Structure 1
């Protein structure tokens, strides 16, 4: 290996190679900074006087199967202008780091395909050093995503771990970028995001959210002119939970063993889209039998399918009529669980129908939530929540979507 090789392979532009030695499975490269490259680390002037050396060693990227160590006598320089002695500035490594920049680049390259633990073992680096390299890179690029041109956003929470520990995610529906990740699922988790919105003078036009009271209040307070759209996925989810509760209550109260047997295990049949029923397994006939034996479930199932049509209307006027009709029919059934659903839909009627004004939903954000689950599973969890939040913000980049 020669001076040209350390320049092209390791990025040592200002140094020359003095010697190469092999110790076990390690290549030791002794280098020295060229005289014409010695400058004051503060004013960058060449009028300096050498005042001794300090030996330092830096880890470099592997060369084949061999580890690489760069050993350099760092010059102590007296600057005639600054009138002070300082160590020379080394361009190939960051200050107070024991590795060179090319090794850092290799870590970032491998992070798109490997876990931190695997990179640590391959490059013989401390696990914390590998994590800090990746974290510093993510922080410099994704700590504060740009808000220019942000108009349509989605807000939703996701579970971090068991024990009702949640985080809130804000997603740009136009660019497909995570704009903010906050701890908790209350309005306080969105405070830093709204501060940035006000500082950058961004005008949010529409927001897709679930029917969380905390999120509704937060949006009304900080973006009063924005159109709130209550996501239809969460509305159908609420109705499905209502039907599950009706079935469970009926099963617990039913005394007829035949009817009780038909109700058992029928939950997914009731919640499934009729088009997805497996005809070969006789799911259609089994569902029909369940509905025939119980009038309450029949009405609940019919109303569930009717509500699905709310988002298939030609315009907001037709949708409003359908919703009004659905509320009247649900009230007529006298089913307590459905009456609670009626109260919910009546309360949030405007936000539900706003879907016809702004055709947005939290669907893309639900996809991000699934990726977050994969991210956690591959990394076996995260101890550093700040690092976890940075990884989420970088998920739209394929290189950081897979590994923990």
Structure 2
């Protein structure tokens, strides 16, 4: 096209002189310095009339109609009498950047709405470029937690990749803000969280978690006032796996000569694990018939219900009495899986009893884990764990106190 000038197009200090179509979907706009606007020193921001040298740089701007816009920009290095030589400061372009502020702002809005893969197809920008923009945005915009007001924590783990690789997450139980995320679930992996909390560890009163010994020991080492509270869901799930399933399999093996009875026991797993209020249709009748005919299954089923009651005690004294009664009943049951489980659970009894004083659980984190899976699925997985952890923190900024 012929030469023309387009002042006021958003490129302060420059004038557009030519619009050149490069293809059906791309164009180039040539810029020249505006003689009425002096270049400025990048350090002191003072006008500089001495130009050291000039380099033409190709810059992406926001799309114009159906065109992807490229700018041909002569970037000058100025010689400041105070600061020396430096590349001129531009209000619409960050140092060393190949994207205008206008395009960056547009992309940042898209990043809050769409997966990176779709934005890459829409804008023509590389996946890594978009990831860098998003990572910088998240680090800039994430709200700083008020650690001085944190009193209760919830800790849990989630699968990071396939192959038993995990990450640990810590939230403020009151605001539900994700405070910290780190790769691994060992004591060494969790320790940076408490190092980051620093003196605020003194204010922590209780921490909810599953029966992860590494988390337990690290809390005791860093938070002298904090009480560990073990989550009901994890303990009952462990009881289902290690006691109910084991007794059910043993009973099925003893009934190998009675095929109908053996089949009924083998297929009863979900009847035994499901809460009574969640049974549908004839399932309640099937469960009653099964328990009436099989005393060991009846015992472990009732012991599961009694174990749950420990978390609903009104006082620690009542919880301790319930625990002692439950433990003695388990030892007197004569069922090896139940006896073994009760003995393994005994060192964790104080964390169960503490639930009477601190009504904490990890159920909120279980819900968060589902959303974390969605975040991971939308991106088809993350190769940068730090970026993934920033996405998690941004998804759970917390509620006002």
The alignment's TM-score, normalised by the length of structure 2, stands at 0.90
Are the equivalent residues in 2 in contact too, given 1:58–1:69 (CA < 8 A)?
yes
Q: Distance in 1 between matches of 2:97 and 2:87?
A: 15
Tell me whether 1:237 sits opposite 2:241 in the alignment: no
**Closer, same or farther in 2 for the Cα pair 1:257/1:70, shift >3 Å?**
same
In structure 2, the residue matched to 1:85 is: 85
Judge which range, 162-171 or 388-397, deviates more.
Answer: 388-397
How many angstroms does 1:156 deviate by?
A: 1.1
Q: Deviations over 1:207-262 (max 9, x none)?
A: 11112111111011011211211111111112121212221222233222121011
Are the equivalent residues in 2 in contact too, given 1:209–1:228 (CA < 8 A)?
yes
Task: Find 2:265's aligned residue among 243, 263, 277.
Answer: 263
Equivalent runs, 1:192-231 vs 2, <5 Å: 192-198=192-198, 203-231=203-231
How many angstroms does 1:149 deviate by?
A: 1.6
In structure 2, the residue matched to 1:161 is: 161
Tell me whether 1:130 sits opposite 2:134 in the alignment: no
Q: Distance in 1 between matches of 2:365 and 2:26?
A: 48
How many angstroms does 1:51 deviate by?
A: 4.1
**Closer, same or farther in 2 for the Cα pair 1:376/1:201, shift >3 Å?**
closer
In structure 2, the residue matched to 1:285 is: 285
Q: Distance in 2 between matches of 1:216 and 1:130?
A: 39
In structure 1, the residue matched to 2:16 is: 17
Q: Distance in 2 between matches of 1:290 and 1:386?
A: 51
In structure 2, the residue matched to 1:74 is: 75
Q: Distance in 1 between matches of 2:390 and 2:212?
A: 25
Are the equivalent residues in 1 in contact too, given 2:204–2:223 (CA < 8 A)?
yes
In structure 2, the residue matched to 1:402 is: none
Q: Distance in 2 between matches of 1:377 and 1:33?
A: 47
Q: Deviations over 1:106-145 (max 9, x none)?
A: 2221122221111111101111111111122223344975
In structure 2, the residue matched to 1:336 is: 336
How many angstroms does 1:329 deviate by?
A: 1.7
**Closer, same or farther in 2 for the Cα pair 1:306/1:200, shift >3 Å?**
closer
In the alignment, structure 2 segments of 5+ residues that lack a partner are none
**Closer, same or farther in 2 for the Cα pair 1:33/1:206, shift >3 Å?**
farther
Are the equivalent residues in 1 in contact too, given 2:184–2:190 (CA < 8 A)?
no
Are the equivalent residues in 1 in contact too, given 2:314–2:356 (CA < 8 A)?
no
**Closer, same or farther in 2 for the Cα pair 1:70/1:200, shift >3 Å?**
farther
Q: Distance in 2 between matches of 1:145 and 1:19?
A: 50
In structure 1, the residue matched to 2:65 is: 64
**Closer, same or farther in 2 for the Cα pair 1:308/1:201, shift >3 Å?**
closer
Secondary structure in 2 matching 1:98 = coil
In structure 2, the residue matched to 1:250 is: 251
Are the equivalent residues in 2 in contact too, given 1:263–1:290 (CA < 8 A)?
yes
Q: Deviations over 1:302-344 (max 9, x none)?
A: 1112222223333333232222222222222111111122123
**Closer, same or farther in 2 for the Cα pair 1:201/1:337, shift >3 Å?**
closer
| Count of matched residue positions in the alignment of Structure 1 and Structure 2 | 390
Q: Distance in 2 between matches of 1:243 and 1:200?
A: 42
**Closer, same or farther in 2 for the Cα pair 1:183/1:289, shift >3 Å?**
same
The alignment's TM-score, normalised by the length of structure 1, stands at 0.90
